[in-house]
Every structure is written in structure tokens, then in C-alpha cells.
Amino acid sequence: MRQIIRRRGDVPRDPAPSRWSYRAQRLWLTPLFRSVLRVGIPSFLIAGAVGLYASDPTNIQQLQDSVAEIRRSVEDRPEFRVNLMAIEGATPVLAEEIRATLALDFPTSSFDLDLPRLRERVEEIRAVETAELRIRSGGELAIIVTERRPALVWQAREGLWVVDAGGERVAPLLARPQLVDLPVISGDGANEAAAEAMALFAVARPLGDRLRGLVRMGERRWDVVLDGGPRIQLPADQPVRALEEVLALHDAQELLDRDVARVDMRDGTRTVLQLTPQAMAELRRMRATDITGERNG
């Protein structure tokens, strides 16, 4: 027989969530809330723990000592040791200068070598054009050097300098006495026109030992100085062509063997010759003789 009146405990449970459960579930579905709960709070706790640990100087010192010990143990391993230095592409004199400039104490750790800074120090040496540094297997520091090639001797106000074909100073001539046979240039700014001087020396090669050197005049043009011959004044524009014309005249008429003090090529339209005092006196005597003869005739 079915009961007409239900007891209080027999009421079925409502499956719908409660109000607070519903709000909690909706809040959990919010991306920002989940990010804060999963990332923000743990990060905050970790940062707080680290800050608390770092607030004690003793802990910081212990941490630094541990890191230094680990680094030292790695740097002192044999595969990171550099035991010697090899210099390639440099003369013995330049190699010794490089060693003295770097003053490295071997063996040392490769971690203690600042290769870019060492390269800068090597390239600060006048005789070095470029340098490349690398650490090779076997603990060798290799320095590959491109040395400036001496091309000219420049007589400057402060002394004699050996310069390369680009006019860069290589070394004082006193430090390279074996280079005294190089062509000589002189004058202010002569090294800046070294390339032009090299071209003139190439053209003047037939003059041989008679060519003493080139003098830069007013930092704009050259004079060719000959031993026992005239001084050739070249123009600022196309000096090589002007010198070629003078040498052609010399081949045809032995111009440079005559009593001529100067060959002036500064005017591109004509060649002006200045005779020596002896030649001028002889010319005046000859003219006077001709005039006297005409009068007597």
C-alpha cells in the first residue's frame, strides 16, 4: 500500500549546484583567475622566498663563492688552457714587438683572454696592418698578422720614417736601418700622396742612381731632385705625364745632361728651362761676341 504522506527524510536531493558552488565554478572558468592561481601565486611565493634568502649577506656570499668555485673548476680544465703563442706573417723584429706589447703570462685560461681587445692592441702597432687572433687546439694562441710593407722613406719634420705604399707609418728609419735604400720623399704631407710618389718613381726608374728623391711642394705638387742634374718641377695635375715628357726630351736631346738648373713643367702648355749660372755667363758672352761681330762687319 502506497504512502500518501512522505516523510521528511524521503525528499529527493536537488541535482542543481548551490549558489556558492555555481559562483566558484564560474570563477574557475575565468582565464585570468586560473593564470593568477597557477602562475601568479607560485611566482610570488618563489620571489618572496628568494628575496628572503637574498636579504641575508651571508647567503649571498656563499652563493658567490659557490659560483666562483664552479667557474674556476671549469676554467682550470686542461682543454681550456692556453700554453703558448704563435705569430704568423710577421718579421722577427715585429714578432718580438707584439710579444712585448701583449705581455701575456702562459699558461693561462682561454676564458681570461679578451681576443677582441688583444687584436686591437696588436693593430695599434704601426707596422701591423691587420691582425687575426684565434685559439687553436692544443692550447695555442695564434696571431695571424698582415704586416705593412715598407715602400718609401719619408723625411718629415720629426725625423725619417719608413712608410708603406699608402703613406701609413711603419717605423722610424733608425729602427729599420736595412731599409735605407728605399726611395725617399720629403716635405709636409708627402706621405699622404705616397701612391702618386710610387707612380713617379716607377716612371723615373730609367734615371737609376741619379734620382735622389721627390720633394712635396706646398702639399700639392712634386719636385724631382736629381744628383748632378736639374730639378724637375712637376705640375699638380697629371705629374706622371709631365715626367714622361721630360724623360722623352732627355732621350731625344739629352736634356738632363745639359747645363740646366731647372726644368719647369708647371705650365702644361710649355716647358721652361732655367740655365745654370755658368751657362748663362757663356750665353751672354756668345751674344756679346755676335753683336760685336755684326758691328765690325
**pLDDT tens profile 135-146:** 988 889 999 999
Q: Residues with Cβ < 8 Å from 111, sequence gap 6 or more?
A: 71, 75, 80
CA distances from 230 to 196, 210, 256 (A): 21, 10, 6
pLDDT of the residue at 1: 46
Domain that holds residue 110: 78-147
pLDDT of the residue at 40: 79
Contact predicate 144/138, CB 8 Å = no
**pLDDT tens profile 213-235:** 999 999 999 999 999 889 999 99
Residues 117 and 211 in one domain: no
Is 185 inside a domain boundary? yes
What is the rounded distance in angstroms from the CA atom of residue 245 to the CA atom of residue 238? 11
Ranges of the chain with pLDDT below 70: 1-17, 66, 70-79, 279, 283, 286-297
Residues 113 and 182 in one domain: no
Residues 170 and 142 in one domain: no
Instruction: Among 147, 169, 197, give the residue marking a domain's end.
Output: 147
Give the total number of structural domains in the chain. 2
pLDDT of the residue at 179: 85
**CATH, residue 122:** 3.10.20.310
pLDDT of the residue at 55: 77
* pTM score, whole prediction: 0.65
pLDDT of the residue at 33: 74
Residues 122 and 163 in one domain: no
pLDDT of the residue at 95: 92
pLDDT of the residue at 291: 60
Is 172 inside a domain boundary? yes
**CATH, residue 208:** 3.40.50.11690
Residues 257 and 162 in one domain: yes
